[in-house]
């Protein structure tokens, strides 16, 4: 009787282990198929909350230069090379496409004269700082403010309208009061957008606790 119990226990453990191994390889195969030419990354900051959380690991579809313009859509969450140091990669949301006129008033984005609906965007800090980093915007101003660019003063929550040049994109973090994005460093060249974020494949909080509910989450 004891031997039968031990044998059943061993068989049960072996089956469980086999199922776990099969599930792991099955999940890995699904991720590889889902993201096609896959890249894997970890989010190092909270600038994309709540879409992506600090401690999320995610897959992304790799983009080649010839595919960028045809593949990207407004609202995509993308990986790109930071224009000020191309050895670093940033993750932001693509808001402005080439030829768009984009502005922000009281933290609300307007695109081509219309308010942009952004259910993903958050803003908790009421402070609206003015910094020298925004001076680059003067070269791309359009409309009435373009007539006297020397008097143009932009802030984090109030700027523009700006015309997005050809082969350039304007990106913003979803957490608008805690994001280093195009408001500060300018437009991102199409050639420096390297990936389209797809899915969270693993996640854990700052205490190391696994966020099981986020595993497999499709990024939108």
Which amino acids are annotated catalytic? Answer: 47, 92
Alpha helices (runs of H) in the chain, residue ranges in sequence order: 2-35, 68-71, 182-185
- Cα–Cα distances (Å) from 87 to 83, 84, 118, 162, 181, in that order, read 9, 9, 30, 27, 16
Report the b/e string of 38-63 with b at 16+ CB within 10 A: bbebebeebbbbebbbbbbebbbbeb
- Pairing relationship of beta strands 56-62 and 193-203 according to DSSP bridges: antiparallel
- Residue 139 CA to residue 148 CA, distance in Å, equals 11
């Amino acid at each position: 009787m004891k031997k039968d119990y031990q044998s059943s226990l061993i068989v049960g453990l072996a089956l469980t282990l086999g199922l776990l191994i099969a599930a792991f390889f099955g999940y890995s195969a699904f991720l590889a198929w889902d993201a096609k030419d896959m890249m894997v990354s970890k989010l190092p900051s909270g600038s994309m909350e709540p879409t992506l959380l600090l401690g999320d690991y995610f897959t992304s579809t790799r983009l080649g230069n010839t595919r960028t313009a045809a593949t990207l859509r407004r609202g995509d969450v993308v990986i790109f090379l930071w224009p000020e140091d191309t050895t670093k990669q940033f993750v932001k949301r693509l808001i402005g496409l080439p030829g768009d006129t984009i502005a922000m008033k009281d933290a609300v984005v307007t695109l081509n004269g219309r308010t942009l609906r952004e259910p993903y965007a958050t803003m908790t800090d009421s402070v609206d700082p003015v910094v020298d980093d925004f001076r680059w915007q003067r070269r791309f101003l359009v409309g009435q403010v373009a007539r006297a660019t020397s008097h143009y003063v932009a802030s984090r929550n109030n700027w523009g309208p700006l015309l997005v040049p050809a082969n350039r994109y304007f990106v913003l973090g979803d957490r608008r009061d805690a994001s280093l994005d195009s408001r500060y460093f300018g437009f991102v060249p199409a050639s420096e957008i390297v990936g389209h974020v797809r899915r969270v494949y693993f996640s854990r909080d700052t205490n190391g606790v696994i966020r099981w509910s986020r595993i497999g989450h499709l990024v939108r």
